[in-house]
Amino acid sequence: MLGFLFAPLTGLVTADTAWQQAELSQADWRAIATSLLGGAASMVIIVLAGTPLAFHLARARGGLALLMEALVLLPALMPTLALGILLAVVYGPSAPLGRAFAALGMVLTNTPAAFLLATIYAALPTYVIAARGALAQVSPDYEALARTLGDTPLKARLRVTLPLARRGLAAALALAWVRALGEFGIVLMIAYYPAGMPVQLWTDVQDLGLQAVFPLVTIFLLATLPVPLWLGLRARAR
């Protein structure tokens, strides 16, 4: 079974490809830059917006908390292509929301902003759900004690709960990174341009065939696999 799970990676060495001839095109380089820069920017937004939400969900009880959980779960559970289609409808040029953003100078179809929007919708729920779990594992008693030592509620969270949950939060961020970089369905619908690595790989395969895309696939894997794998294992090892 484990061999079955590992099998895809063996494709990297067994593939019938002429590595010397295959090299990265200019479009490939652009896609790498788009993915890495866009992914990094969306991580910043996700951490800043998602961490307070995860904190709230980790501590909240009752009906309202359940409703909020459901709202976070919804985009995570939706097939990404369906989510992409819905986003195209809501943020598209003919929709009120899309027009409102466009009026502010932010067109949300086939622009860098649209790419960012797609990755945030892909990765924010993943981050919030995982971060919520990490934060919920830290007993609220530590925070309460920090307050008796003079900390405001916010300061207690920053000085005690956040560091105690750091490994789980790092793993949550790593998961979000993988989701953002690997996102294809949503991006296909609202941010086909500028192309990130997944869309570029898709068009390369269409135009040039499987053999030609191995350098980009390798970089794609290097950008998504090692660090999250390490962080995930470290979070478990605690």
Partner 1 sequence: MSAIVIDYVLAAPVALQAQLTVQGFTALLGRSGEGKTSLLRALAGLLPATGTPWQGQAPEKRPVGYLPQETLLFPHLSVLENTAYALRGRSRKDKAQALLEELGLAALAARRPHELSGGQAKRVALARALARGMELLLLDEPSSGLDTMTRDATLDWLIETTAARRVPVLAATHDHEVAARADHLALLADGRIIQHGRARDVFEAPVSRAAAELLGYENVFEQDGALWAIRSTGIFPDEAGEPFPVRTVRETGTGLRLSCGDEHPLMVDLPDGRLDDYLPGNILRLNLCAKKRIG
**Which residues are near partner 1 by CB under 8 A?**
139, 141-142, 144-152, 159-160, 163-164
User: Is the separation of the CB atoms in 212 and 21 below 8 Å?
Assistant: no
We find the least distance from the C-beta atom of residue 165 to partner 1, in angstroms, to be 10
DSSP states of 109-177? SSSHHHHHHHHHHHHHHHHHHHHHHHHHTS-HHHHHHHHHTT--HHHHIIIIIHHHTHHHHHHHHHHHH
| Cβ-based nearer residue to partner 1, 33 or 154 | 154
- For partner 1, the closer CB: 142 or 214: 142
Count of CB atoms within 10 A of residue 12's CB? Answer: 12
Question: Cβ closer to partner 1: 30 or 159?
Answer: 159
Q: How far is the CB of 183 from partner 1 (least distance, A)?
A: 34
Q: Which is nearer to partner 1, 72 or 135 (CB)?
A: 135
Which of 221, 212, 216 shows the shortest CA–CA distance to 182? 221
List own/partner pairs for 193-197 with CB under 8 A and 24 or more apart: 193/110, 194/30, 194/34, 194/38, 194/110, 194/111, 194/112, 194/115, 195/27, 195/30, 195/31, 195/34, 196/31, 196/34, 196/35, 196/38, 196/39, 196/115, 197/31, 197/32, 197/34, 197/35, 197/223
* Minimum gap (Å) between residue 134 Cβ and partner 1: 14
Any idea how long the chain is? 238
Minimum CB separation of residue 185 from partner 1 in Å reads 39
Nearer to partner 1, 73 or 236 (CB): 236
Find the shortest distance in angstroms from Cβ 59 to partner 1: 14
Nearest distance in Å: CB 149, partner 1: 4
Which lies closer to partner 1 via its Cβ, residue 10 or residue 152? Answer: 152
